[in-house]
Amino acid sequence: MGEASGSYTTVAGPVETELEIERSRFICVLDRVDSEDAARAAIARVRAAHTRARHHCTAFLIGPRGELARSSDDGEPSGTAGLPMLEALRGEGLSDVVAVVTRYFGGVLLGTGGLVRAYTAAVQESAAAATRVVRSLRTTVAITADYDRGPALEAELRRLGHVPVHVEYGADMRLDVAVAPAGVDAFTARVAELTAGAARVVPQGSAYVDDA
């Protein structure tokens, strides 16, 4: 999931796809979530929308490396639904994501192998339809400059591709810029060069943000 480069991939928003296998309907909802509570809320919404379905099998991965992983077979034979769904999410390189596969039974038993293939395929189908979003680790750097230098500094930073994530006008001008952690020192030196050392540069902390 891009651990070495400080990035990972999620989905932009909810996707719903459907497969029919041996007269059973497998409806997969794939959605972006950032916590276990959010994942369980998404699962509850799908259950409420399909109250007559026999199974709502689930899997979710949360965190830059998918540190939090949960799955449920929801009445299907053990190991035939939730775990294959979880492995399908991992195989797609996704995290911060929940998958819910709702099954309407069509009267034909698929066997354990058939169920594994069906639930895996349902997740893969939604993953293929989803818009993917890369999230990268960035350090927010706060730059404080006077109004003689601030506007010109902002224009130059934008020209260099460092678009401020926040601009604040007070006694001085403050620009918050998201920078790759390994590039903070070079960025600080560049700002010092552009302002003849007059700007104050203070790293504020790091977080994962969606790439533009």
* Res 2 pLDDT > 90: no
Residue 118's pLDDT is 97
pLDDT at 190 over 90: yes
- Under 8 Å CB-to-CB from 67, ≥6 apart: which residues? none
The length of the chain, given as a count of residues: 212
pLDDT digits (tens, 9 = 90+) for 6-27: 899 999 999 999 999 999 999 9
Q: Give the separation between CA 164 and CA 176, rounded to whole angstroms.
A: 5
Choice among 1-5, 23-27, 51-55 with the minimum mean pLDDT: 1-5
Cα–Cα distance for residue pair 17/188, rounded to 1 Å? 47
3-130 and 135-210: identical CATH topology: no
Position 151: which residue type? P
Q: What is the pTM of this model?
A: 0.83
Statement: residue 88 has pLDDT above 80: yes
At 107-117, the pLDDT tens digits run 889 999 999 99
**Domain boundaries defined on the chain:** 3-130, 135-210
pLDDT of residue 164: 93
Pick the CATH number of 3-130 from 2.70.98.90, 3.40.50.620, 3.30.230.30, 3.40.50.300: 3.30.230.30
What is the pLDDT, as a whole number, of residue 1?
54
- How far is it, in rounded angstroms, from Cα 110 to Cα 24? 9
Closest to 99 in 3D by CA, of 56, 52, 139: 56
Q: What is the pLDDT of residues 199-208, one digit of tens each?
A: 999 999 999 9
User: Which CATH fold topology does 135-210 show?
Assistant: Alpha-Beta Plaits (3.30.70)
Q: Are 82 and 74 in contact (CB under 8 A)?
A: yes
Mean pLDDT in residue range 167-177: 95
Give the pLDDT of residue 107: 87
3-state secondary structure of 122: helix
